[in-house]
């Protein structure tokens, strides 16, 4: 991987905060931004060992000693407003302002202990993390960015099914949460323009932890509903995020970009 690292890349000198970076899409985004030269603050909830490994992976990508890696990890419970404030204070102490914010943190209601929760319990968690934390962090960091002479870029994570609809309890939950994120993104972009660009990336069938263990039905459905005839990868999403936060995406704001291989509607 080190051959693809760009220590003098387009994000050299930029500081990025990536929430939910301990795995899946968040991890892929953190690694991709580091490859492009950004100093990455990788946030996680409890999985400090995964974040430590991420920092080590960044060092390997850049061919530098671990202590010189362009990444640091931060543990924070995003359901706690005061913990969010402390995290942002710590980032300011260590590095100053944030140039890039990517809100990847989200509640996993498809695997683990959360599967057995009621619909209402899952909804409460999604509204707390996927919606409220995304909104609050975006507003706080966006305000700081707007005061900076360099501006900044914010990317939120939506879901391609939010605008289309899909049957099932989980789909209802994600549609409510991610639909709110996408609508908020459009309004925040209006509020912070022209200094700060705000966009949303809406993944489709991306093979994260749930996808890797999904039944044959879901394996086939994921492939059938993409014009590319395959699952997407976290790296597919990360590359779109990278495009949006670099100067390549400098004339794009207030948009939701689907990363789904082109959705194929069934007959």
pLDDT in tens, 67-98: 445 678 889 999 999 999 999 999 999 888 89
**Residue 267 lies inside a defined structural domain of this protein:** no
The H or E element spanning position 258 is: strand 256-259
Question: Could you list the residue range(s) of the whole structural domain that residue 217 is in?
Answer: 2-259
**Residue 264 lies inside a defined structural domain of this protein:** no
The 10s digit of each residue's pLDDT in 97-144 is 899 999 999 998 888 888 889 999 999 999 999 999 999 999 999 999
Q: What is the CATH number of the domain that holds 64?
A: 3.40.50.720
The H or E element spanning position 155 is: strand 152-157
**Residue 265 lies inside a defined structural domain of this protein:** no
Query: How far from 229 is each of 30, 67, 263, CA to CA, in Å?
Result: 27, 42, 10
Query: Alpha-carbon dihedral of residues 21, 23, 25, 27, nearest 10 degrees?
Result: 50
The percent of residues in the chain predicted with pLDDT above 90, rounded, is 69
**Residue 12 lies inside a defined structural domain of this protein:** yes
149 burial type by CB count under 10 A (0-12 exposed, 13-18 middle, 19+ buried): exposed
Q: What is the mean pLDDT of the chain?
A: 89
N-to-C CA span, the chain: 42
The H or E element spanning position 212 is: helix 209-213
Number of compact structural domains in the chain: 1
Nearest alpha-carbon partner for 153 in 196, 103, 96, 201: 196
Question: Region 215-223: what's the mean pLDDT?
Answer: 90
pTM score of the predicted model: 0.91
């Amino acid at each position: 991987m080190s051959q693809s690292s760009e220590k003098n890349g387009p994000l050299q000198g930029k500081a990025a905060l990536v929430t939910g970076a301990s795995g899946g899409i968040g991890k892929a985004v953190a690694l991709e931004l580091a490859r492009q030269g950004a100093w990455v603050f990788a946030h996680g909830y409890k999985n400090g060992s995964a974040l430590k490994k991420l920092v080590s992976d960044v060092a390997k990508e850049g061919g530098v000693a671990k202590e010189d890696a362009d990444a640091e990890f931060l543990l924070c419970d995003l359901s706690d407003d005061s913990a969010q404030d402390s995290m942002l204070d710590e980032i300011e102490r260590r590095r100053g302002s944030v140039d890039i914010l990517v809100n990847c943190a989200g509640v996993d209601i498809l695997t683990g202990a959360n599967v057995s929760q009621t619909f209402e319990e899952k909804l409460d968690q999604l509204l707390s993390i996927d919606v409220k934390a995304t909104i609050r962090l975006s507003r706080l960091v966006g305000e700081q960015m707007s005061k900076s002479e360099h501006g900044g870029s914010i990317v939120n994570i939506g879901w391609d099914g939010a605008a289309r609809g899909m049957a099932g309890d989980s789909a209802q939950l994600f549609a409510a949460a991610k639909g709110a994120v996408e609508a908020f993104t459009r309004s925040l972009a209006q509020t912070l323009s022209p200094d700060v660009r705000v966009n949303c990336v809406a993944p489709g069938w991306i093979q994260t932890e749930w996808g890797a263990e999904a039944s044959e039905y879901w394996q086939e459905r994921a492939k059938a509903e993409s014009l590319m005839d395959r699952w997407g990868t976290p790296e597919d999403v990360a590359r779109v995020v990278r495009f949006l936060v670099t100067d390549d995406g400098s004339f794009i704001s207030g948009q939701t970009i689907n990363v789904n291989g082109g959705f194929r509607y069934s007959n």
